[in-house]
Chain A
Amino acid sequence: MVLEKVLTAGIGEVDLCDIAVYRSRGGYVQWRRAVTELTPAAVVVAALKSGLRGRGGAGFPTGRKWEFLPEDGRPRYLVCNCDEAEPGTFKDHELLEMTPHQVLEGMLIGAYAIRSHHAFIYIRGEFKRGYEIFMRALEEARELGFVGQRLFGTDYSLEVTVHRGAGAYICGEETALLNSLEGKRGEPRLKPPFPAVRGLYGQPTVVNNVETLGYLPHILERGAEWFASVGTPKSTGYKVLSVSGHVQRPGNYEIPLGLPMRTIIDEIAGGLRPGRKFMAVQPGGGSSACLFEEHLDLGYDYESLAAAGTMLGSGAMVVFDDTTDFVKAAHSLVRFFAHESCGQCTPCREGGHWLEMTLERILHGEGLASDIDMLLALSAQMTGINLCPLGDSIEPFLASVLKRFEPQFRAYLRKPQVAFAR
């Protein structure tokens, strides 16, 4: 199946890290056009019309997020969230390393749209190579006058600051990211106030994902109508999907939203290994609930997945075949979230650790019959009452596989001791 590539166009074919190559393919043309020909409001309108939604996980309409900024004369900041760490997600990693100029151009256009004069990019600590590539790209762009003071002969100036994280999953949450960027402990902030009102250094701030920003030059180039015509009415445009797990060709694939999941798994990702049976798919990163055989004809878009009780999230699809031990899989994910909990709010700090310990005990053959109900009850009671989404991320996968594959969990439980054997 041949798909049109937008963000991923040219990857693996030409060296997009070279600014000359990037420019030869139309790079920075839209940036120049935005500053010299378009008003910021026109860029916002384009984003609104395109129907572009945040590609980091929440799926919030990008143009509307920009519109939340109060008109009070304070400085505004755009922050590009490149702290990709959602289990199963590896798209921003590739975009940063392979298309650094596209990421930068998207950031510049986004910053212009909100009339910011200072944009930041927060790069996950482990992305050392991506960081170095981006720094080189930034220097090249600065030398050509695409970043800095009085751009393209106008009065508009824009500086870019690059910040490296230190590898905490929680810093991908936008307010924890802002705290970390300010040099504070990476803990989510209490909302309200939201970043649009009080964000980085207390100023109005927009945090956008790498992929979201990356689509901006294309939307300006080809028109909002073009983007809106792709996908479904509520899930427009393209999405870079990270497919992994038990498929023959795992990797990043750019798809038009709304494509049936069966097509994605069987045709794009090469299908399951020969002789293996499909068991489940986690469609939207480690925080999402699993879908099963009966869901595979659903379109891969925000509304269909939400209607099925899960989410598109960051677009990380993990496929499980019949070799999967779902107790071990659940334990692995729960351990991840418990380990990454910042610990500031009670349900996440205590609940995650508790669930991890219980699953560990079950794996060691010490599970009690009551543990099955307790896992469901505990994970449910820690959900929906947390300060940030991390604490709500444990329950979906655990509950969905526990309900579907309960016999696998029961098989691990402590065998009843037979009194007076023989």
Chain B
Amino acid sequence: MPDQKTVSLTIDGVVVTVPDGTLLVEAAKRIQRDIPVYCYHEKLGPAGLCRICLVEIEKMSKLQIACNTLVTEGMVVRTLSDRALDGRRAVLEFLLANHPLDCPICDKGGECDLQDYAVAYGSGSSRLVEPKGRKPKAIDLGPTIVLDDERCIVCQRCSRFDDLITREQSLVVKERGERDVIATATDAPYVSNFSGNVTELCPVGALTSKTYRFKSRPWDLQRTATTCTQCSVGCALNVDVRHEAILRTMSDPEDPVSDGWLCDRGRYNIAYLDDERRLTSPLLRDGENWTQIGWDDAITLWAKVLRTHPPSAHGVIGGGRLLNEEAYLLSFVFRALGTRNIDWRTGRQFETTAGSFEGTLADLERAQLILVLGVPPSQTAPILDLRIRKAVGRFGARLISVGPLAAGSFVPQTRVRSVTEIPPAAFDVRRIAVVYDGISRDLLAEANAMLRPLQAHGTQIFGFVAGEQANARGAEVLGLLPRDGGLDTRGIFSAAVGGGVISTLACFGADPLLRHPDRILVERALQSFDFTVVSELFLTPTAQRAHLVLPARSAFEKTGSTTNLAGTLREVRAATAAPVGTLSDGEMLVALAAALGIEIPSDPEISRRVREMIGVPLRGGEELSFSGRAPTPREGFELVVAEHPFAGGGTSLHDARVSILRPHPQVGIAPASAQAAGVADGDIVDLTSGDRFLRDLRVRVDEDVAEGLVVVTAGLPQAPANALPATGRVLLKNIRSVREVVASGGVR
């Protein structure tokens, strides 16, 4: 690579050398010179709107804005000359003229750029005699955001974010001149998977999160840097705590994984920690009732059950909520006991690598062709989806979504049902990324067949699995996989039903009743086990059918690490104290090992082994056995199961503040198919397949759904999609209009 050309310039008497093409505002940062900005943002680029960054440049008659001035050789810049400071003071006087100055009741107070710069560069008083302009306040912009137009300085960071970064283009400036306001283009609610980012971008207190309004002062918050464990991306997360309560979470602008953004699930789904339904004591089933018992009794009972059954009779399911160290311990303890029936694969996702293809999120950004196979990351890993939008929208990559579901990425896409339908010319690029759901193995096989030869000829192929479980990859690497002849999840449940080979089940951070593709099988198995122990935060559908429920701790309440979808180890740190009466899964396993007399490695040793194992490349395309499929009947519609960032029976279900973001049970159907089936948008229907059924779904006629399909969302406890056969065909039955439903006294 040739040496990049540099230029030298003088800023306030200091010579600084920077690459050619650097903006003056960035060059000044090199010498720790603070040039104030409002509309400029590193990731949004210059806009030239606020005019606060005025500087004096020799040989130029007017003051110049540092945000849109490229450095040139020999440029002499004065950021603190009298003229520059006069310009700043003038802009601040104008900005504050109609600003309400309600800092004492503003959430931004203490971390507000307007406040800070007014103190640093403002004049301290205003010459305005007239009353300040009045604009709407406390506008309900959408389910997550409140807008105060009086505080707004119209820097357009929010609308530019919604245009340049998310590509959704719903936020705009309306009206003109001093009357202008931020709004959505259609006045519809501002709904986005990424809405919370605008509150961080807003340099003043105009955009605030509903979850954080009037909660705290920034100087009263204690910050912990950790990793978000809501999905497999593993974004860096700054957790702000006051009085042991998590009040808000913030992004890390420097994080290479998240690119400095957060999705709303990661940002807002925190109130479950304090939900009153949180489990705080081990619960023992007593017929139809629960009895609270102590931890000693619970562990003793569990150890006794494990000892009184042969090792081959135990089934262990460890879900994606486990940290790396906990997954390692779970595998270690049960393997020490002699059990081999261990699997992390609770739901539909059955693998964590896309064949032999690997990559980082930075690689994804550089890809020229992106294939999304199956369930798109917009439904499972929003921040990865945002990288796709960047690759397509900013760098011109081509996006092809393969399978029945659209990518939902707000950038141009080509839709095909099979990799073989893709025109061969599309593959004539140097870098290709495959984003796979870990479910649609046929699509991956097609992609493999197409891409392996290209890879052999020098095309770079990057692979990502944006699956439904957060730490699936860590769980798989650290041993929660039946590689040595043990039974997988379906095998465990089938063995329990058919003759009782498996008689105990331990579920850690997993909810197979809601997530496993075959709900009927899980239901029957849960009735068959002699003893089921479930470690959970809440009484999830699976926990409700357990014999012993152990109250667990969330990832905000324990320390360790997690593995993201790119195979990177990410640190998790406790940000707040857990409720009294809970233990982390790791602590439970340590206690269990002690009760069983199993010697476990020390904490530092576990940590060392985890780091070593995560660092080893994965199995590289080896065929993974997974007994998932059911035969397909012919009549009716093909069932497609989609995901949703806020689906699930755990943390989002038990968070009152994000309940408005949860999806409603509905069935998506193409207009022509709807007509053929005799249903209209808004009707209520049941889906049936043989003797299996899913009741009371609202019909959503959706042009994005292909003909002959119906789409339902996985992971909704009130309408669990896994009650239907995973890949079968379904009929629409019992069609009712909303009026009929209301007249008959509501849904059942």
- Chain A positions within 8 Å of B, measured between CB atoms, are 168, 185, 190, 192, 338-347, 349-354, 357-358, 361, 368, 371, 374, 378, 381-382, 384-387
Q: Which chain B residues border A340 with CB–CB below 8 Å? A: 176-177
Q: Is there a chain A Cβ closer than 8 Å to B172's Cβ?
A: yes
In chain B, positions 120-138 with a C-beta closer than 8 Å to chain A are 127-130, 133
Further 4 A-B residue pairs, CB within 8 A, beyond A190-B48, A339-B177:
A338-B177, A339-B176, A349-B177, A384-B63
Q: Which chain B residues border A339 with CB–CB below 8 Å? A: 176-177
User: Which of B54, B62, B177 has its CB near the most chain A CB atoms (within 10 A)?
Assistant: B177
User: Which 5 A-B pairs rank lowest in CB-CB distance, beginning with the nearest?
Assistant: A350-B94, A190-B48, A343-B180, A381-B90, A353-B178
Partner among A342, A346, A352, A382 whose Cβ is within 8 Å of the Cβ of B50:
A346
Whole-angstrom CA separation of A289 from B534 in the bound complex? 81
Q: Which chain B residues border A357 with CB–CB below 8 Å? A: 130
B600 to chain A, nearest CB (A): 61
Q: Is the Cβ of B130 less than 8 Å from the Cβ of A358?
A: yes
Q: Is the Cβ of B46 less than 8 Å from the Cβ of A190?
A: yes
B645 to chain A, nearest CB (A): 31
Q: Is there a chain A Cβ closer than 8 Å to B192's Cβ?
A: no
Q: Is there a chain A Cβ closer than 8 Å to B68's Cβ?
A: yes
Q: Is the Cβ of B177 less than 8 Å from the Cβ of A382?
A: no
Q: Which chain B residues border A338 with CB–CB below 8 Å? A: 177-178
Q: Is the Cβ of B49 less than 8 Å from the Cβ of A346?
A: yes
Q: Is the Cβ of A353 less than 8 Å from the Cβ of B177?
A: yes
Q: Which chain A residues border B93 with CB–CB below 8 Å? A: 381
Q: Is the Cβ of A385 less than 8 Å from the Cβ of B130?
A: no
By beta carbon, the residue of chain A nearest B87 is A385
Partner among A345, A353, A354, A384 whose Cβ is within 8 Å of the Cβ of B62:
A384
Whole-angstrom CA separation of A345 from B52 in the bound complex? 10
Q: Is there a chain A Cβ closer than 8 Å to B562's Cβ?
A: no
Contact with A along B150-180 (1 / 0, CB 8 A): 0001101000000000000000110111111
Query: Number of B interface residues, CB 8 Å?
Result: 36
Q: Which chain A residues border B91 with CB–CB below 8 Å? A: 346-347, 385
Q: Is the Cβ of A342 less than 8 Å from the Cβ of B176?
A: yes
Whole-angstrom CA separation of A108 from B720 in the bound complex? 66
Whole-angstrom CA separation of A190 from B50 in the bound complex? 12
Whole-angstrom CA separation of A192 from B45 in the bound complex? 13
Partner among B48, B127, B177, B180 whose Cβ is within 8 Å of the Cβ of A378:
B127
A146 to chain B, nearest CB (A): 38
Q: Which chain A residues border B68 with CB–CB below 8 Å? A: 190, 192
By beta carbon, the residue of chain A nearest B48 is A190
Q: Is there a chain A Cβ closer than 8 Å to B97's Cβ?
A: yes
Q: Is the Cβ of A382 less than 8 Å from the Cβ of B90?
A: yes
B95 to chain A, nearest CB (A): 6
- Chain B positions within 8 Å of A, measured between CB atoms, are 46-52, 54, 62-63, 68, 86-87, 90-91, 93-95, 97-98, 127-130, 133, 153-154, 156, 172-173, 175-180
Partner among B46, B130, B156 whose Cβ is within 8 Å of the Cβ of A344:
B156
Q: Is the Cβ of A185 less than 8 Å from the Cβ of B173?
A: yes
Q: Is the Cβ of A386 less than 8 Å from the Cβ of B51?
A: yes
Q: Is the Cβ of A385 less than 8 Å from the Cβ of B62?
A: yes
Q: Is the Cβ of B180 less than 8 Å from the Cβ of A345?
A: no
By beta carbon, the residue of chain B nearest A170 is B176
Q: Is the Cβ of A361 less than 8 Å from the Cβ of B129?
A: yes
Q: Which chain B residues border A185 with CB–CB below 8 Å? A: 172-173
Q: Which chain A residues border B49 with CB–CB below 8 Å? A: 344-346, 387
Q: Which chain B residues border A354 with CB–CB below 8 Å? A: 94, 97, 128, 130
Whole-angstrom CA separation of A377 from B601 in the bound complex? 75
Whole-angstrom CA separation of A353 from B68 in the bound complex? 26
Q: Is the Cβ of B178 less than 8 Å from the Cβ of A349?
A: yes
User: Which of B87, B98, B129, B153 has its CB near the most chain A CB atoms (within 10 A)?
Assistant: B129
Partner among B48, B86, B130, B154 whose Cβ is within 8 Å of the Cβ of A349:
B154
Contact A381/B86 with A342-B176, A349-B180, A353-B177 known, Cβ cut-off 8 Å:
yes
Q: Is the Cβ of B130 less than 8 Å from the Cβ of A346?
A: no
Q: Is the Cβ of A341 less than 8 Å from the Cβ of B46?
A: no
Partner among A341, A361, A371, A384 whose Cβ is within 8 Å of the Cβ of B177:
A341
Task: Show 5 A/B contacts (Cβ-Cβ < 8 Å), sorted by A.
Answer: A192-B68, A347-B51, A350-B98, A381-B90, A381-B93
Contact A361/B130 with A185-B173, A339-B177 known, Cβ cut-off 8 Å:
yes
Partner among B63, B127, B153 whose Cβ is within 8 Å of the Cβ of A385:
B63
Partner among A341, A361, A371, A385 whose Cβ is within 8 Å of the Cβ of B178:
A341
Whole-angstrom CA separation of A385 from B51 in the bound complex? 7
Whole-angstrom CA separation of A185 from B160 in the bound complex? 13
Whole-angstrom CA separation of A7 from B128 in the bound complex? 49
Q: Is the Cβ of A358 less than 8 Å from the Cβ of B154?
A: no
Whole-angstrom CA separation of A269 from B177 in the bound complex? 36
Q: Which chain B residues border A385 with CB–CB below 8 Å? A: 51, 54, 62-63, 87, 90-91
B12 to chain A, nearest CB (A): 20
Q: Is the Cβ of A343 less than 8 Å from the Cβ of B90?
A: no
Q: Is the Cβ of A387 less than 8 Å from the Cβ of B46?
A: no
Q: Which chain A residues border B178 with CB–CB below 8 Å? A: 338, 341, 343, 349-350, 352-353
Q: Is the Cβ of A345 less than 8 Å from the Cβ of B51?
A: yes
Contact A343/B127 with A349-B154, A354-B97, A382-B90 known, Cβ cut-off 8 Å:
no
Q: Which chain A residues border B173 with CB–CB below 8 Å? A: 185, 343-344
A85 to chain B, nearest CB (A): 14
By beta carbon, the residue of chain A nearest B175 is A343
Q: Is the Cβ of B156 less than 8 Å from the Cβ of A387?
A: no
Whole-angstrom CA separation of A192 from B179 in the bound complex? 28
Whole-angstrom CA separation of A374 from B130 in the bound complex? 13
Whole-angstrom CA separation of A357 from B91 in the bound complex? 18
By beta carbon, the residue of chain A nearest B70 is A192
By beta carbon, the residue of chain B nearest A377 is B127
Q: Which chain A residues border B180 with CB–CB below 8 Å? A: 342-344, 349
Q: Which chain B residues border A350 with CB–CB below 8 Å? A: 94-95, 97-98, 178
